[in-house]
Amino acid sequence: MNHMCLSAQGVRSNVLSTSPLRRLPTCGFQHTKLGNSLRTTTTLLRLHLPSNLLYVILVDGPHAGQSVPHVHIHILPRKDGDFVNNDEIYDAIDAKEKELKKKLDLDKERKDRSMEERAQEAAEYRKFSF
């Protein structure tokens, strides 16, 4: 997974997104690496989170509602009853994607996290063996 990026900014806590670090058009090799990253991430999430199902959503291309200009996968741990209607999850994802797009447009106003904050977050994910 050393060529992949794992992001924890999602619809709610414990929602992850994984994508290739290289911003190139995806082809066979990158798809294989993305698939391997997905398998590793979902396996570890199932071991560490109190979730009985996962939604895995591939976002590839602007017409897919992509908030960032590269292929990525949302990994959403779910529990029975967390959404009254299962289709509500797509509205929540769409709303979050729009919010993230606005944030990307305002990148110059973004305040980077401190090294301490990033180290603390990385330490939390290392517990998952990523």
Query: What confidence category does residue 1 fall into, taking pLDDT thresholds of 50, 70 and 90?
Result: very low
Report the pLDDT value the prediction gives residue 37, as an integer from 0 to 100.
83
**Domains recognised in the chain with CATH numbers:** 4-126 (3.30.428.10)
Q: Distance (Å, rounded) from C-alpha 25 to C-alpha 70?
A: 8
- 36-87 pLDDT, tens digit per residue, is 888 888 888 888 777 778 888 777 766 666 666 677 777 888 888 888 888 8
pTM listed for this prediction? 0.54
What phi, psi does 21 have (nearest 5°)?
Answer: -70, -35
- 82-101 pLDDT, tens digit per residue, is 888 888 877 887 777 777 66
Q: Distance (Å, rounded) from C-alpha 48 to C-alpha 114?
A: 26
- Name the residues annotated as catalytic: 72
- 100-128 pLDDT, tens digit per residue, is 666 655 556 666 667 887 788 778 777 77
